[in-house]
Chain A
Amino acid sequence: MKRIYVDEKWCLGCHLCEYYCAFANSGKDDMAKALKNVKINPRIQIEEKDGISFAVSCRHCEEPLCVKGCITGALSVVDGVIQIDSDKCVGCYTCVLSCPYGAIMPSESDDGVVQKCELCLKNSHGKPACVEGCPNRAIIYEEKE
C-alpha cells in the first residue's frame, strides 16, 4: 500500500505541508479564502528542534492502536487506510491518547470530533496535498516494503 514517508534530510521546516493540508481539508476552492485569518489545525504537523525538522502525520499502521482502542468502531481500516466515520465518533479521545505518533487530534470543524490524515482520499484534493505541496520532496507518497 502507498504510504506517506518523510525524509528529515530534505525537510526545510517551511511548514507549507501544514497549510496545504488545512486547505485540502477545508472544502473550499481558494486557499486565501479558506485560510485567511484562520488559525490552522492541520493533520500533518512539523516537529522541529536544533536545526532538524520533519513532518508527522498518520502512519496508517498495520496494527493500529487507535482502531483497536476505538470504543464505537468509528475508526476502521479500509484498504490499508485508517479512516474515520464521524457519525459514529463520540469524542472519547481514546485514539488521541493511544496514537504513539500524536497523529490524531481534536477537530475544530462542525462535522467531527477528532481528525486524522486520510491521505486526502476523502476530500476534493484526491491525493495527499502535503506531498504535492512540499517544495523539496521531503514528503513522499509511495509503496515501500
Chain B
Amino acid sequence: MAINFLYPEYEVIRDKDKCIGCRVCERQCANEVHSYDEDSGCMVSDNAKCVCCHRCVALCPTGALKIVKTNHTFRENANWTGEHICEIYRQAGTGGVLLSSMGNPKNYPIYWDKMLINASQVTNPSIDPLREPMETRVFLGAKPEKVEFNSKGEIKNNLTPQLKLDIPIMFSAMSYGSISYNAHESLARAAEELGTYYNTGEGGLHKDFYKYGPHTIVQVASGRFGVHKDYLNAGAAIEIKMGQGAKPGIGGHLPGIKVGDDISKTRMIPKGSDAISPAPHHDIYSIEDLRQLVYSLKEASDYKKPVIVKIAAVHNVAAIASGIARGGADIIAIDGYRGGTGAAPTTIRDNVGIPIELALASVDQRLREEGIRNRVSIVVGGSIRSSSDIVKAIALGADAVYIGTSALMALGCHLCRSCQHGKCNWGIATQREDLVRRLNPDIGYKRLVNLLTAWNHEIKEMMGGMGINSIEALRGNRLMLRGIGLTEVELNILGIKHAGQ
C-alpha cells in the first residue's frame, strides 16, 4: 500500500544487552513479528504484526523483551480519539465490519467495584473457615414449593433434577472450534476434579470427552451443531443458548478454515464448511415456543436433567427471565455485556447489552416479587474477575457463577483480543496443530484447579468474616453489600444501601 494510515499500536522493546539471540521469540510468534537479521546478527521485530499477547515476553529466557503501547500520537482531541480515527482508516480501507474478540473493554462503570462487603464485629461473631466447617456447595435447579408427606408421614421426594456444585463456579460455554481440543480437555478435567461443570458451547461434544459427561453441560444453540440423542443424554444438564453477552442479538460464524476433520465430525457438518449459527432460533419466536423446546429436551432426556436457558443481559432482562422461569427452565443463565467471545462485530460487543450486576439484581428482584424465585436457579457470567466478584454476585441473588475469560487466563490467555484470527500463540483459540500443542492439558487443568481452589478459599474467608457458614445463607443477602459512589437509581436497582447507611 502506498499510503499506510495505521501506525503500529504496540512496540516490541528488546534490550540488546540481554538478548542472546536464542530466537525463541521468533519460533513462538505465530504472527511472525520477530526475525533474525543475518547481516547485523541481531533479532529484529515488525511491530505492525504484534497483537500484544506476551508469548515472546513470557518465554524469553533472559527477560530481554517487553511490549509497550506506542506513544506515537494524533493531534490531541477528546472527541476524536486515536481509536476512532484508526477504526475509520481501517474501514475506509477494507469496507468491512470490524471484528473483535473477548469481552467489552470499554470504560463503562464496573459495579462490582462500587460495592463493598460487610464483616461482623462484636455482636455476630465472625467464623474462621480454617477451624470451623464452611459450606460452599450449591444445588442448581427448581426447588419445590413445599415439603410433602406420604400417608406414612415420610417426606416425599418431590425434587426435580438438580446439579450439584462443590464450588459455586462453573466454566461457561466455549465451543470446540472456538477453543482448542487441549483447552477443552483442560476444562473438562478441571471440572471433574473440582466437582463442578464445564460447558460444551454450541460446537457439540468430541467423542473423547463423553467420559467427562457427568461434569459436562451440553449446549443447544441456534445452529443445533452436534445435537443428537446421545449428546443430550451425555451431559449432566442441557443448556439452550438464546443469547450471549458479547453479542446479544447476533449469531455466530466459525469460518470453514477451522472446520477440520475432528470439528466437522463433532459438529456434524461437512469439512471446510462455514458453521453459521443464526441470530435467532428459527423455531422460537415466543416464550411458548421456548417452552416447547425446553420440554422437547426434557422429553428427550427422560426428565432426568435440568434444562438451563442462557440469555444475554439486555434492557428488559427481568421480564424475559420471568418468561423463562414460567417456560419450564430449571436454571437461568445470564451473560453480561462484558462476556467474552471468539469473534464478534466490535460495535456490537462494545455497545450492546447491560452490566451483569444490574441485570442480576433486577432479575432476582422480579422473580421474588412474582413469587417464582424458587422455580429457577440463577447463574451469572460476563466478567467475573475474582472471588469477591463471586461473593457480591451471590449476595445480589445469584446461585452460582459462570467463568469463561478468567478460566482462559488461567490457561495462559493474555487478553490480546485477537481470537478471530485463529493464531492464538497460547494454544487456546486456535485449531492450528503446532499452536494447539502449546497448551499441555496436564499443566492447564492444574492451573484451573489452582485458581478455583484459591477462589473457594477466599470465598470462605469472606463468608466467615460476615459470620456466614453456608453459601445458601449469603444468596440474595443484599444487606451484606453497600454501594460506594452510586446514584439513588443505581442503588435502587441493585437493592442495596449506600456505604454508611
User: Which residues of A come within 8 Å of B, CB atoms?
Assistant: 9-10, 12-16, 19-20, 23, 31-32, 35-38, 51, 133, 135-138
Find out whether the CB atom of A31 lies under 8 angstroms from the CB atom of B62.
Answer: yes
Known: A15-B22, A133-B61. 7 other contacts (CB 8 A): A9-B437, A14-B27, A32-B18, A35-B22, A51-B433, A136-B438, A137-B443
List B contacts of A20 (CB < 8 A).
61
Chain A residues contacting B443 (CB-CB under 8 Å) are 136-137
Instruction: Tell whether B377 is near chain A: CB-to-CB under 8 Å.
Output: no
Task: Determine the distance from Cα of A16 to Cα of B17 in the docked complex, in whole angstroms.
Answer: 19
Query: Using an 8 Å CB-CB cutoff, how does the interface string of B306-336 with A read, 1 for contact, 0 for none?
Result: 0000000000000000000000000000000
Q: Which of B20, B62, B434, B442 contacts A51 (CB 8 A)?
A: B434
| Choice from A13, A36, A37 contacting B27 with Cβ under 8 Å | A13
Please, which residues of chain B bring their CB within 8 A of the CB of A16? 22, 24, 59, 61
- Residue in chain B with minimal CB distance to A12: B438
B28 touches A137 (CB 8 A): no
A35–B20 touching, CB < 8 Å: yes
Is the pair A14, B28 in contact by a Cβ cutoff of 8 Å? yes
Please measure, in the bound complex, the distance between the C-alpha atom of A135 and the C-alpha atom of B54, giving whole angstroms: 14
Q: For the complex, give the distance between the alpha carbons of A1 and B377 in Å.
A: 54
B59→A135 contact, CB < 8 A: yes
Q: List 12 A-B contacts (CB under 8 A).
A: A9-B437, A12-B437, A14-B24, A14-B27, A14-B59, A16-B22, A19-B20, A19-B22, A35-B22, A36-B18, A51-B433, A137-B440
B interface with A by C-beta (< 8 Å): 17-24, 27-28, 58-59, 61-62, 64, 433-434, 437-438, 440, 442-443
Q: A37 to B59, alpha carbons, bound, how many Å? A: 19
For B18, list chain A residues within 8 Å (CB): 32, 36
**B24-A38 in contact (CB<8A):** no
Closest 10 CB pairs of A and B: A35-B20, A32-B18, A32-B62, A19-B22, A136-B440, A10-B440, A31-B62, A14-B24, A137-B440, A14-B27
Contact of A137 among B17, B19, B442 (CB under 8 A): B442
Q: Smallest CB–CB gap between A44 and chain B, Å?
A: 14
- A contact residues around B442 at 8 Å (CB): 137
CB distance from A129 to the nearest CB of B (A): 10
B-chain residues with CB within 8 Å of residue A136 when the two chains form the complex: 437-438, 440, 443
Most buried by B among A14, A15, A31: A14
How far is A137 from B59 in the complex, measured between Cα atoms in Å?
Answer: 14
**B454 CB → nearest A CB, Å:** 21
Contact at A31–B20, with CB atoms within 8 Å?
A: yes
Q: How far is the CA of A138 from the CA of B437 in the complex (A)?
A: 10
Q: Give the complex CA separation of A135 and B60 in angstroms.
A: 11
Residues on A with beta carbons closer than 8 Å to the beta carbon of B433: 51
Cα-based distance from A35 to B62 in the complex (angstroms):
10
Q: How far is the CA of A51 from the CA of B27 in the complex (A)?
A: 12
Instruction: For the complex, give the distance between the alpha carbons of A70 and B476 in Å.
Output: 77
Chain B minimum-CB-distance residue to A23:
B61
Q: How far is the CA of A36 from the CA of B19 in the complex (A)?
A: 7
In the complex, what residues of B have CB within 8 A of residue A35's CB?
20, 22, 62
Taken together as a complex, chains A and B put the C-alpha atoms of A136 and B186 apart, in Å, by 14
CB contacts (< 8 Å) of B58 on chain A: these are: 135
In the complex, residue of chain A having the shortest beta-carbon distance to the beta carbon of B28? A14
Give every chain A residue within 8 A of B24 (Cβ-Cβ): 14-16, 19
Question: Assuming the A-B contacts A135-B59, A137-B442, are A12 and B64 also in contact, with contact meaning beta carbons closer than 8 angstroms in the complex?
Answer: no
CA distance A120 to B272 in the complex (A): 49
Closest to A11 in B: B437
Closest to A20 in B: B61
Across the interface, name the chain A residue whose C-beta is closest to B435. A12
Known contacts A14-B59, A16-B24, A19-B22; is-contact A32 B64 (Cβ 8 Å): yes
Shortest Cβ gap from A25 to chain B (Å): 15
Q: Is the CB of A38 within 8 A of B438?
A: no
CA distance A100 to B182 in the complex (A): 34
Residue of A with least CB distance to B55: A135
| A12 close to B28 (CB less than 8 A) | yes
Contacts of B28 in A (CB 8 A): 12, 14
Q: Note all chain B residues with C-beta closer than 8 A to A138.
A: 440
Residues in B with CB closer than 8 Å to A32 are 17-20, 62, 64
CB-based contact B20/A36 at 8 Å:
yes
A142 to B18, CA, bound (A): 33
